């Protein structure tokens, strides 16, 4: 499995701005489109505040003003990167949706109240045994009239056995480089010059070692070496990369409820005993400069079972 993962990662990190041979390989070229339209009177975002991302101060932030006067910031805080767009969230949601449709990329599902749209599985442009899926999360920014956009990637490969290639797919990786490239393409779609968009997106790349998995006979926890707010944002990014659906969340109390409610069933492999567990409840605790994440059982106590450990391992691999 390790060899397979290395091979796949080597494949997906090639340049994505070369000429596209198929429409599905939309991330291999820079589209040429009109700039984002912003209404003259900025309005308060109508998205449910329950799903607002925590306020984080960007260590890297650069403003770009487009020809029509729209301001876009490429921001990063540690390993977390996102776009900050000036405008009405409903307009930006619609415009971002056009980004996928204009590139002939079908959406597997979308939920406006959650602020999430996710593509169908796309055939990888250089291997018929691999596929990619992208999620775009759109949320209100920390000030009125600002909208934050987060891009995440999930990849899977077809299982190869002694008798040949099976019809079973296994989710195996998330590639930050693909997230950077698609972020650059989204910037170009919103109106930035393609070459400049690629440059700005790549300037935010970071590969810091951020998390530590602690498991044993009496322990099952994931420790993120970041303050609470940053760790919460990293956790949400990992959730996006893994393809979970956020059912409930409360940053103040440190509670997060997730489901494996995707249509493709790719997360069913979580339960190593063959009985799929669809709901995960998490407890997030601040430990001064670190943050601890545990899974809760039905009695709201710390779950140290195999399923909980497997879940935390998958989250760690996506941070």
Domain spanning 211-318: which CATH class is it, in words? alpha beta
Residue 78, phi-psi category: left (phi > 0), alpha (psi -120 to 50), beta (remainder): left
Dump pLDDT digits (tens) for 27-83.
654 333 333 343 333 333 333 433 333 333 444 455 666 666 778 888 877 677 889
Instruction: State pLDDT tens for residues 68-120.
Output: 677 888 887 767 788 999 989 999 999 999 999 988 899 998 999 889 999 99
316, 308 contact by CB (below 8 A): no
Cβ atoms of 141 and 147 within 8 Å: the answer is yes
Q: Mean per-residue pLDDT for 129-148?
A: 89
The whole-number pLDDT of residue 306 equals: 94
| Structural fold of domain 12-202 | Alpha-D-Glucose-1,6-Bisphosphate; Chain A, domain 4 (3.30.530)
Three-state DSSP class for 7?
helix
Map out the domains of the chain as residue ranges.
Answer: 12-202, 211-318
Q: Highest mean pLDDT: which of 88-92, 128-132, 293-297?
A: 293-297
Q: What is the mean pLDDT of residues 11-36?
A: 38
pTM (2 d.p.) = 0.66
Q: Could you give the CA distance from residue 36 to residue 184 in angstroms, rounded to a whole number?
A: 15
Per-residue pLDDT tens for 240-275? 999 898 889 899 999 999 998 654 444 444 443 344
Q: Which of 290, 291, 274, 269 has its CA nearest to residue 282? A: 291
What integer pLDDT is reported at residue 260 of this predicted model? 85
């Amino acid at each position: 499995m390790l060899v397979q993962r290395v091979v796949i990662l080597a494949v997906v990190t090639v340049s994505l701005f070369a000429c596209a041979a198929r429409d599905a390989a939309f991330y291999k070229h820079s589209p040429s489109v009109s700039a984002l339209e912003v209404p003259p009177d900025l309005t308060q975002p109508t998205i449910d505040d329950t799903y607002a991302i925590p306020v984080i101060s960007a260590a890297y932030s650069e403003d770009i003003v487009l020809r029509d006067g729209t301001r876009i910031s490429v921001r990063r805080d540690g390993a977390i990167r996102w776009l900050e767009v000036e405008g009405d969230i409903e307009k930006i949601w619609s415009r971002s949706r056009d980004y996928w449709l204009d590139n002939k990329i079908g959406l597997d599902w979308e939920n406006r109240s959650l602020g999430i749209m996710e593509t169908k599985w796309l055939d990888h442009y250089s291997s018929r045994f691999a596929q990619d899926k992208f999620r775009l999360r759109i949320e209100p920014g920390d000030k009125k009239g600002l909208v934050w956009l987060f891009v995440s990637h999930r990849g899977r490969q077809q299982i190869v056995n002694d008798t040949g290639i099976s019809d079973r797919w296994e989710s195996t990786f998330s590639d930050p480089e693909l997230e950077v490239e698609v972020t650059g393409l989204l910037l170009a779609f919103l109106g930035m010059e393609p070459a400049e968009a690629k440059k700005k997106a790549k300037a935010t790349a970071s590969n810091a070692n951020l998390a530590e998995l602690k498991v044993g006979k009496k322990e099952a926890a994931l420790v993120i070496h970041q303050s609470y707010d940053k760790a919460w944002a990293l956790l949400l990014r990992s959730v996006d990369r893994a393809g979970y659906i956020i059912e409930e969340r409360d940053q103040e109390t440190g509670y997060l409820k997730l489901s494996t409610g995707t249509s493709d069933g790719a997360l069913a492999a979580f339960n190593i005993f063959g009985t799929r567990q669809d709901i995960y409840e998490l407890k997030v605790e601040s430990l001064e400069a670190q943050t601890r994440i545990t899974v809760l059982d039905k009695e709201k106590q710390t779950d140290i079972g195999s399923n909980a450990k497997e879940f935390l391992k998958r989250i760690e691999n996506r941070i």
